[in-house]
Amino acid sequence: MLGVTCQEFLSSSTEETQAFGSHLASQLIQGDILCLQGDLGAGKTTLCKSLISSLTGLPKESIQSPTFTYLQVYETPFFSICHFDLYRLNSSEDFINLGFLDYFDKSYLCLIEWPCKIVDLIPKNALQLTLSHITQTQRKLCLGRWGDAPCF
């Protein structure tokens, strides 16, 4: 997909983060794994909602973070999107026991919030998007390959 080391983008609002998500959606393909990391409130779910909405046509308001179910699957005309929120997950073993590793095959686009919960399972060719607070409204988004930035 993207041949990048780390590209940085600045977002000054929720709307700009959503626009970035919509643009990124046009760059992702079936089989990609996008790991989103950042502190609580950094914009991971906001970006995922915009990305999923762009690919499925669903209104952003109808897309919920799977915080309590860990996984929500959405359909596009061409492939399925697996949106993982692993905030509450305890370990990689739990991820495997829930059968989620099967979704890493090439027929899905996977979005993973809190990927550091399963750091040992993330494929080396995965993409990593790190969202960092600059101010209350500004965010720095850094897109690269998995492992380009430390897990937190």
Cβ contact 144:128 at 8 Å: yes
Overall pTM > 0.75: yes
* Cα dihedral value 109, 88, 47, 24, nearest 10: -30
User: What is the Cα–Cα distance from 46 to 25, expressed in whole angstroms?
Assistant: 13
> 49-74, pLDDT tens digit by residue?
999 999 999 999 999 889 999 999 99
Distance CA 100, CA 137 (A): 34
The ranges assigned to domains in the chain are 7-145
Partners of 17 in the β-ladder:
none
Q: What CATH number belongs to 7-145?
A: 3.40.50.300
pLDDT tens digit sequence for 83-138 = 999 999 999 999 999 999 999 988 999 999 999 999 999 999 999 999 999 998 89
Closest CA to 103 of 130, 74, 129: 74
